[in-house]
C-alpha cells in the first residue's frame, strides 16, 4: 500500500555528516512534531547533510531580490519520529471522519492508509529503503518575509488534501487568491530547483537533494538511469 517507486533506487552512501542548519535560517517554532511528543531523543529536526545545507544557502540567496527568505519547518527525522507521525496522521484522519481508529472496517482502514501514504513516506527500517527525511537530505519549508512572517501559500504544510499538490492552484484558477498562491509556490520551487533540489510530487513544501526520491525524479527528468542516491539513512 505504501510502496514508493523511488525506494528501488540504489544508494551509494557518501558518508557526508549531518550538521546543524545555520542560525541565519528562520526556523518555524515551536516545532510541531516535538510539541506532539515525537521521540527525537538526542536528535534535532534542524539538521541536514553538509552538502544539502550549502544548496539551501544558494536557494536563500535566490530569494533576496524578492525580499523573502526560507522558513524551515522540518528537516532530519529519525525512523522513530517517522513512525510516530505516520501513526498520528492516521489517527487524526480517522477522528476527522468520525471513525474510531481501533474499530475500523478493513476497507475504510485501507482507504485512510492510502491517504496517509500519499503524503508520508513508509517508516521502513530497511537501510535500502529509508524515508527521505531520515537521510538528512530532505527538508520541509515555506517562504517568509524579512520580518519572519510566513507567507500564505494556499495550504498548510502536512495538510492531507488536494491543496497540498504543488500545481493545485494552476489547475483551479477559480479559487480565491489562486494566482498569488500559484506564483509563490512557483518562486519557492524555482529557488530550490536552481539550487539542485527536487520537489516532492505531492507536496509543495518538501524538497530533497541526494536521496532516493531526488535520484528517482532526476532519472525521470533526464532519462539517465545511472543516477543513484548518495545519502542513505543516517542515525544521529
Give the C-alpha separation, 213 to 131, whole Å: 9
Cell numbers linked to 136? 538528512
* Residue 129 CB neighbour total at 10 angstroms: 19
Which residue is associated with the grid cell 541536514? Answer: 48
Give the model confidence (pLDDT) of 134-161 as tens digits: 999 999 999 999 999 999 999 999 999 9
Q: What is the Cα Rg of the chain in Å?
A: 17
Residue 89 CA to residue 161 CA, distance in Å, equals: 12
Catalytic (active-site) positions: 203
- What predicted TM-score, i.e. pTM, was given to this entire model? 0.95
| Residue 6 Cα to chain centre, angstroms | 14
Q: What is the pLDDT of residue 194?
A: 98
Sites in the chain below the pLDDT cut of 50: none
* Grid coordinates belonging to 74: 522540518
Cis amide linkage into residue 71, ω under 30° from 0: no
- Name every residue whose Cβ is closer than 8 Å to that of residue 213 and which is 6 or more positions away in sequence: 4, 6, 132, 138, 198, 200
CB 168 within 8 A of CB 154: yes
pLDDT digits (tens, 9 = 90+) for 11-26: 999 999 999 999 999 9
Return the pLDDT at 2.
56
Average pLDDT over the chain, rounded to an integer: 96
Non-local (6+) Cβ contacts of 222 within 8 A are: none
pLDDT score for 4 = 86
Amino acid at each position: 500500500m505504501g510502496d514508493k517507486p523511488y525506494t528501488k533506487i540504489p544508494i551509494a552512501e557518501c558518508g557526508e555528516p549531518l550538521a546543524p542548519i545555520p542560525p541565519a535560517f528562520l526556523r518555524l517554532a515551536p516545532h510541531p512534531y516535538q510539541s506532539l511528543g515525537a521521540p527525537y531523543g538526542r536528535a534535532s529536526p534542524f539538521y541536514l547533510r553538509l552538502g544539502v545545507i550549502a544548496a539551501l544557502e544558494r536557494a536563500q540567496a535566490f530569494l533576496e531580490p524578492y525580499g523573502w527568505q526560507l522558513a524551515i519547518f522540518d528537516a532530519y527525522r529519525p525512523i522513530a519520529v517517522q513512525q510516530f507521525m505516520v501513526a498520528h496522521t492516521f489517527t487524526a484522519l480517522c477522528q476527522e471522519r468520525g471513525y474510531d481508529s481501533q474499530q475500523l472496517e478493513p476497507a475504510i482502514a485501507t482507504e485512510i492508509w492510502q491517504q496517509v501514504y500519499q503524503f508520508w513516506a513508509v517508516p521502513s527500517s530497511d537501510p535500502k529503503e529509508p524515508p527521505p527525511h531520515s537521510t538528512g537530505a530532505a527538508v520541509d519549508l515555506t517562504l517568509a518575509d524579512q520580518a519572519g512572517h510566513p507567507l500564505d501559500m494556499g495550504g498548510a504544510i502536512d495538510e492531507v488534501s488536494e491543496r497540498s499538490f504543488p500545481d493545485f492552484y494552476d489547475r483551479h484558477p477559480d479559487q480565491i487568491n489562486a494566482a498569488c498562491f500559484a506564483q509563490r509556490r512557483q518562486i519557492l520551487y524555482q529557488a530550490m530547483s536552481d539550487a539542485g533540489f527536487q520537489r516532492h510530487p505531492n507536496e509543495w513544501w518538501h524538497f530533497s537533494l541526494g536521496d532516493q526520491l531526488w535520484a528517482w525524479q532526476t532519472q525521470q527528468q533526464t532519462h539517465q538511469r545511472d543516477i543513484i542516491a548518495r545519502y542513505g539513512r543516517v542515525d544521529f
